[in-house]
Amino acid sequence: MAGLPLLTDNHVRQPIHAHRWLREGRAFRMIYWWAEHRRRMSDGEVVQALERLASRHDAFTYAIEYIKPER
Whole-model pTM: value is 0.67
User: Which amino acid is present at 56?
Assistant: R
Closest CA to 53 of 5, 3, 8, 19: 8
What is the tally of structural domains in the chain? 1
Task: Decide if 34 contacts 68 (C-beta within 8 A).
Answer: yes
Domain extent, residue 29, equals: 6-66
Render pLDDT for 9-64 as a digit per residue (tens, 0 to 9): 677 777 888 889 899 999 888 888 777 777 788 888 888 888 988 899 988 888 88
- The verdict on residue 62 lying in a domain is yes
- The verdict on residue 1 lying in a domain is no
Q: What is the number of residues in the chain?
A: 71
- The verdict on residue 27 lying in a domain is yes
